[in-house]
Structure 1
Amino acid sequence: MNERRRPTPPPSSAAGRRRRGGRARRRRGGRPRLLWPGLTAGAVLVFAGGLALNGGTESTDSAGASSAPEPGGTQAARQDAPTPEPEKEEKEEKEDGGKKDTDADSGKGAGEKPDPDSIPSSGPGTFATADGGGDRVGGSARTLTYVVQVEDGIGIPARDVATEVERILADERGWTADGKVGFRRVSGGSSDFRVRLATAGTVDDICGRYGLDTGGEVNCNVGQDVMVNLKRWLLATQYYADDVTSYRALIINHEVGHFLGHGHEGCPGAGRPAPVMMQQIKGLHGCRTNVWPYDADGRPITGPAVG
């Protein structure tokens, strides 16, 4: 796999806050490294198209809202590259504990899946920010504020995405289970990080500013941005094909985990739940699917460090 390298700061003001990155493949012509969490042939949350978003949102350019210092003190450039799995291996993994996480409390899918060819591959690079704000959830040691943004024109209301992200970050099996970190969604002013759903082209552009090659397929965490590829948001991956909503929890927990300073982990053993920081898109390796960093009893679900 690729070695970790210090990503090249982007021209924006976010350059001073880069965090340590994870594994990734090098982008042709660039020096920075990539991190590829659990994704198949798709990118992160990205929106495109020509439809207007509804309900109390504000538009920003791709530079987005003002930023605040990240928890780790440096910025991270993280991305998960999809690696095609042999058909035989995929079948074995599904039979060996590769069942979907029926205890995910994240619903059964997200409605009928769209035709992959109907998902826009690029957009204007401007975003609508979900209005309002959420209640504080989690521990009292530190509270991280965040905004939820959706690329303009893709026909998905930013408020709907914000509701889903809030639910994921508030889950008792999420990152707040450590009793220390807390989250609160805001709609303006400075924020610690941004969750941004965008089209593959916009994800490639923003992640590429940090030297990451998302290849139109995957998500990434760069600086204060948790970039979600629209294709992955709508279609999930082969292991979550029947439970897209649960896969969305994996996207958010994995990329926010990188923002919190967590690196990639491997499968701890056959039949055990896959850590949320495992690159599940690249294969389960005998583990069973899981989208939460902690179990229902508050115990962390971890595996051996990778890279």
Structure 2
Amino acid sequence: MNERRPTSPPSSATGRRRRGSRTRDRRGGRHRLLWPGLAAGAVLVLAGGLALKGATESAGRPTGTAGASSATGRPGSQEAGETAEAPKDEATAEPEKEKERKRGQEEGRDPGSIPSSGPGTFATADGGGDRVGGSGRTLTYVVQVEDGIGISAQRVAAEVERILADERGWTADGKVGFRRVAGGTSDFRVRLATAGTVDDICGRYGLDTGGEVNCNVGQDVMVNLKRWLLATQYYADDVTSYRALIINHEVGHFLGHGHEGCPGPGRPAPVMMQQIKGLHGCRTNVWPYDADGRPVTGPALR
């Protein structure tokens, strides 16, 4: 996967950015299959186009690790296993659009009604949470939701807290801890925003999220509203789990973890695997550790 290192972003109110590992370009490919016919003298030619998902979830976006962020020395990244999809044949694209429509209806939103852009300003969830995790360093974070998208910052904060507190999450190493705060100085920010705002913030670090994917740059974990509401084809029936994958993947980049591949057929996909590009024989999985506290990993990818 080609990687593009982001240049330092212009100074702005939005801050810093993310994981290259993280995200992600995707590349698409097309395969043509020729099958000989059984009838004498007849040859049946089947042409099929397979759109392969790109590295992090953006069509035509840069894959993988971008340059290190000035704040953390970590690579900027495009999403949690999420990269925008490559263009598809009309025959392939229509069924996927139909799946997104149904997922949107189940979530109480038609994909067509999800705003694609917003003001770029954010509301921060009030209050704070208890510290969760091991006895080592405590990372503080705020949860913010872009204004005007009709989603409660408090509701998103509750979901993010639940994910980061799960015993299968990053705290399973017994060292790192997390605590949500309502303002002031924090180590990182989880920000749910429209595709246009995600593209803008990630783009300041040289990442092309293509209106489709998430990214982590600097101190910001940027969550694309479309992905938050609709997930992807592999999690079409479990949007809640997909949200855990987004948070764990992007926070994983913030913690310094790079992308990983499938460790073998039938085994759980690592949370740092770009699952949107395909499972490659692995099973879906959204947690960095299993129920017994063992890390779920795979071969490191460049």
Could you say which TM-score interval applies, normalised by the shorter chain?
0.7 to 0.9
Match of 1:219 in 2: 214
CA apart distance, 1:187:
0.5
Match of 1:24 in 2: 24
2:25–2:84 CA contact under 8 A, matched in 1: no
2:2 is aligned with 1:2:
yes
CA apart distance, 1:85:
10
2:183 is aligned with 1:188:
yes
Match of 1:74 in 2: 73
CA apart distance, 1:76:
3.0
CA apart distance, 1:25:
3.7
1:6–1:20 CA contact under 8 A, matched in 2: no
- Percent identical among aligned pairs is 82
TM score, norm. by length of structure 2 = 0.76
Cα shift readout 1:255-292 (whole Å, capped 9, x = no counterpart): 00000000000000111000000000000011010000
SS class of match (2:179): strand
CA apart distance, 1:200:
0.1
Q: State the distance in 1 between where 2:195 and 2:281 align.
A: 30
SS class of match (2:243): helix
Q: State the distance in 1 between where 2:285 and 2:229 align.
A: 18
> Of the two, which has the highest radius of gyration?
2
| Aligned partner (choices 273, 276, 288) of residue 293 of structure 1 | 288
Structure with more relative contact order (C-alpha pairs < 8 Å, separation 6 or more): 1
Aligned-CA RMSD value? 2.9
Unpaired segments of 5 or more residues in structure 2?
27-53, 62-69, 93-103
CA apart distance, 1:164:
0.1
Show the 5 A alignment for 1:96-111: none
Q: State the distance in 2 between where 1:283 and 1:85 align.
A: 15
2:198 is aligned with 1:174:
no
Cα 1:262–1:14 shift into 2, 3 Å? farther
1:193–1:225 CA contact under 8 A, matched in 2: yes
Q: State the distance in 1 between where 2:299 and 2:14 align.
A: 30
Match of 2:201 in 1: 206
Show the 5 A alignment for 1:50-199: 73-79=72-78, 80-83=82-85, 112-199=107-194
Q: State the distance in 2 between where 1:287 and 1:113 align.
A: 31
Question: How many pairs were matched up?
Answer: 249
Q: State the distance in 1 between where 2:268 and 2:88 align.
A: 21
2:142–2:182 CA contact under 8 A, matched in 1: yes
| Aligned partner (choices 232, 253, 266) of residue 258 of structure 1 | 253
Q: State the distance in 1 between where 2:234 and 2:225 align.
A: 17
CA apart distance, 1:11:
1.3
1:226–1:256 CA contact under 8 A, matched in 2: yes
